[in-house]
Amino acid sequence: MAKQVARSGLASKLGAEARKRWEENKANGPEYGVGGILPAGIENGIAQLSKCGFGIYKKGAFTGQFFYMAMGVVQLPTSIIDAKGVSINIKGLQTRVGPIPICDTPHSKGQHKTQADHFDFVRNELAKLKGGSMDEFSPDTIEDAAKLLEEAKPYFRFRTWQGPATEDFPNPRVNEEWRGVCEYNPDAEDTGVTDETGGSADAGSADNESAKAKGEGGGSLRDLIEAADREDDNDEESVAARQAITEAAAAAGMDVDGDDFAALSWSEVVDQVEGSENEGEEKEQEDEEIVPAKDDECKANLKGFKKPIAVKIISVDKKSKTVTIKRQDNKATVKDIAWSSLVW
């Protein structure tokens, strides 16, 4: 694993204690032992690594500091029964570790407060994905290791759980723990997995998008709004929630660096991502106005998006000159879109 990748300057930010901790523990195997939007109660789940690397915080108390982030796509179980008895499809959803700040976090309520603490945690997470020690790497080549793992896309086991409410965290998040690499053949006929959540589920018994929109089973970005709204840069949960919502918005095509995005509340950002209550941006009317009709297909300029989104018109209100549309990408219904926002 000697492949070289372009490095971002992470190594120059590492202090002596972080480097010392690496040397002390790099020969150790992984210890199996941070939140997301999957439901709690998944045991022995299997996911495939899709993202592994480092980035830089763009805003907040950690601005300019590096963070580690890894994501995986759930393969098994295909569905789960939540605490309310609802069957939720989870295959294809993401499990996530991070963002983990690579800097001191003295005000953190968690057990990791120093750069060395966080960096050693990341070393252990990489060791899990590698399936062995990190002895062949150093703090200077840790980005190489992350890149190689991302390219290898290993399968790994994971679990989720939710702790009890406390005074500090009255609404505890769902925690996700990655358990290390495993063998898995997605083409095998028997793709079942024992789901120790108190019930069984069929893969097609519930529509996952519907469950997410309702916030059932903790499987929605909407569950992160409360933590994001705290806007506390010394609260790791709040920082992680804002980072997750921002990444989801960017993935949905929103201009997260634009003024429109900065003006939105976190709840409004989630609305835009889920397509539940988007309002069209009005543009200057053209001389020859096109009157839309039901079942017309076109594009629409939606607030917060860089480019027009492909849509289908499902109803027309001629009095208010607005339409109700269905987005072609995620089938979400969006009401009260001005005719002037449609692109033909």
Q: What is the pLDDT of residues 76-123, one digit of tens each?
A: 998 888 777 778 888 888 898 888 899 988 877 667 789 999 999 999
pLDDT of residue 53: 93
CA distance 125 to 312: 44
Distance from C-alpha of 99 to C-alpha of 45, rounded to nearest angstrom: 21
**Token duo for residue 245:** 């919502």
Average pLDDT over residues 241-263: 75
Q: Give the helix ranges, DSSP H, for 47-95.
A: none
> Residue 216's pLDDT band (boundaries 50, 70, 90)?
very low
Mean pLDDT score across all residues of the chain: 78
Judged by DSSP in three states, 82 sits in coil
Written as one string, the DSSP assignment of 105-136 is -TT-SSS--SHHHHHHHHHHHHHHHHTS--TT
H or E stretch covering 17: helix 16-25
Cα 84 to Cα 65: distance, rounded to the nearest angstrom: 40
Mention every residue, 6+ apart, whose C-beta is less than 8 A from residue 233.
60, 61, 62, 239
Q: Return d(Cα 218, Cα 312) in angstroms, integer.
A: 30
pTM over 0.75: no
Residue in this structure with the two tokens 């709040």, named with its chain if needed: 238
The residues near 238 (Cβ < 8 Å, ≥ 6 apart) are 227, 228, 230, 231, 232
As a whole number of angstroms, the distance between CA 263 and CA 259 comes to 6
pLDDT digits 0-9 by tens, 5-59: 666 788 888 999 999 999 988 888 776 544 446 888 888 899 999 999 999 887 7
pLDDT the model gives residue 202: 36
Domain boundaries, the chain: 10-207, 220-274, 277-343
Distance from C-alpha of 199 to C-alpha of 27, rounded to nearest angstrom: 41
Candidates 3.30.450.20, 3.40.50.300, 3.30.565.10, 2.30.30.140; correct CATH number of 277-343? 2.30.30.140
